[in-house]
Amino acid sequence: MTTHSVADAKKRLPELIDRALEGEESSSRVMARPVVELEAIPRHAKPVAPADLDWLAARCVGRKLPDEDAGTFVSRMRDEDER
């Protein structure tokens, strides 16, 4: 991880972003104290495997999943509030 003053990081931000996208992390400091870290956000999340879903289902004991999707649920709750 490289460390830069905030003023230096401000001047070099495009370069630091390019380096972060290549995997290098950097931090900026104010009076020698690190205050900000710059790192790339991962592009792809790890896919959910069937074994992961089985593990989750085994731990949802006594809980029934709703029969409706989230959008329908929110709409229904909103409509009930308006009554």
Check residue 48 and give its pLDDT: 85
Check: CB of residue 26 under 8 Å from CB of residue 1: yes
Residue 83's pLDDT is 65
As given in the structure block, the two tokens for residue 16 are 């630091």
pTM for the whole structure: 0.47
| Mean pLDDT (10-residue bins), the chain, 83 residues | 89 91 88 87 80 84 73 84 69
Helices (H), the chain: 6-11, 13-21, 50-58, 70-81
Question: What residue ranges do the domains of the chain occupy?
Answer: 2-38, 50-81
DSSP code for 1: -
Tokens 């370069």, residue located: 15
